[in-house]
Structure 1
């Protein structure tokens, strides 16, 4: 099994889990508010579906995707949200069927990309593995929004390691999105996964370190939890600051998460 197959398998599992939560909902359930900004369950699925379609376009029609990049540059803070608003007008049963079909097509397209070829994106071009990991990260994050709104306890699985990986890799990007210089020096990251496995990144002799719960770190870098509400610790000024701005997704960071006590 290739690394791409492994990541797509985990993405399938995340998508199927969310699918199982939303499929039984009636119309009122689909209108459940999931975020402080007012996104409903419908908006969440619409957003995931739109991003799948954008990813598919980046692989199969680069000219059309380039045109989309130009439109996004004209409206960097609203382009994605407006796309979700438009798709959210689709009746839930149709939207769910379209999301299922779209993610199946995307997985097939990712497997068709020649070895060594990069896929254009809103950020830097990505390999098929990186794009699949990014889709898993987004599905994982938006699944939490839906589950919390519906009162569902999300199973803590090792699939969160993919999310943590992107969060670690995006440390410099998080600073850039805040208009901050990227600090010099490495940060050693040591996290414990839900199965007890140790997840590590960075040189062992790095002066600054981040340690703690891997699943909580994934919640932190997807900006689903305030840094004071997770079991993640930092040693060193740069590492401590990173925990306050960490993000695992492209684009602007959006509003900072509120502490659980203030919600």
Structure 2
């Protein structure tokens, strides 16, 4: 429970940072377009609220969640959009309340999961701690779209470690989603943290290596940046190939964002950058 408590505290802090930003907005700014095509600030917050509610359902009523999962499988490209659109029409104050209440419900639901149990999800089942980590990832990623839409600088925090950790752990899952065989060898990942220390995963002597700043790695793993617009580098063919398909989220793969050097650059429909393809 200690580890879960720590992750839930970081989830609360990540949510609070975004909450402070949007709570101060005039109503008109909730309709401002974000880098995700067709999604406003309201869509981004509505999606977070929707996914929190889905997480609560998964943790408290597996049978009901199984029905929701089937709905998602029947409409893989539209059900996320529909959930966001439904919440986005709410008045900002009401939407903000729905999101806050859902966050509180999720914290209680994850604490109540029996030790050793896993919670079903749109991807592989997760422990309560892993699900809370996934919520940090998604809150950070969708928050990034909101911060960019409002042209507000966000200082990277140590909470990025959760996002990076999830991206590393889902390496094989990303390969399977792209109909590729996962590599058989471990990778070494070394990232420069916001405090300039090094976060690392994998054997020190691994020949397949990934390096860069934690911020750019997380932007790439959540498909908020094209690989060409990050400082993330790879050594080894398998590591290079991974960076082309890396994703920290559970949804179907999306094409991501075009490089900024592309004169037609912008988010593509169906990408996590949109975030159409993402299911948390």
What's the TM-score bracket when you normalise by the shorter of the two chains? over 0.9
Q: State whether residues 186 and 208 of structure 2, in contact with CA within 8 Å, keep that contact through their aligned partners in structure 1.
A: yes
SS at match of 1:34: coil
Which region of structure 1 is more displaced relative to structure 2, 133-142 or 108-117? 108-117
Q: Which TM-score applies when normalising by structure 2?
A: 0.91
Are 2:87 and 1:87 equivalent residues in the alignment?
Answer: yes
Instruction: Find out whether 1:145 has 2:155 as its counterpart.
Output: no
- Match of residue 200 from structure 2: 200
**Aligned counterpart, 2:175:** 175
Q: Does 1:240 align with 2:236?
A: no
Offset from partner CA, 1:220-254 (integer Å, 9 cap, x none) = 10111111111111100110111121100001122
Quick check: 198-207 or 219-228, which moved more?
198-207
Q: CA deviation at 1:63?
A: 1.3
The residue that corresponds to 1:253 in the other structure is 253
CA distance in 1, matches of 2:258, 2:28: 27
Q: Contact conserved, 2:46 with 2:87, CA < 8 A, in 1? A: yes
* TM-align CA RMSD: 1.2
Structure 1 alignment gaps of length 5 or more: none
How many angstroms apart in 2 are the aligned matches of 1:62 and 1:71? 14
Matched, 1:43 2:47: no
Residue 36 and residue 104 in structure 1: after superposition, are their counterparts in 2 closer, same or farther (change >3 A)? closer
1: CA distance between counterparts of 2:254 and 2:207? 30
Task: Provide the secondary structure at the position in 2 that maps to 1:82.
Answer: helix
* Residue 96 (structure 2) aligns with: 96
The residue aligned with 1:33 is 33
Q: CA deviation at 1:36?
A: 4.1
SS of structure 2 residue aligned to 1:191: strand
Number of paired residues?
Answer: 263
Structure 2: gaps (5+ residues): 266-280
Q: Is the 8 Å Cα contact of residues 161 and 215 (structure 1) preserved in structure 2?
A: no
Tell me if 1:135 matches 2:127: no
Q: Which moved more, 1:105-114 or 1:158-167?
A: 105-114
Moved over 4 A (4+): none
Distance 2:9 2:216 in 1: 22
Distance (whole Å) between structure 2 residues aligned to residue 82 and residue 254 of structure 1: 18
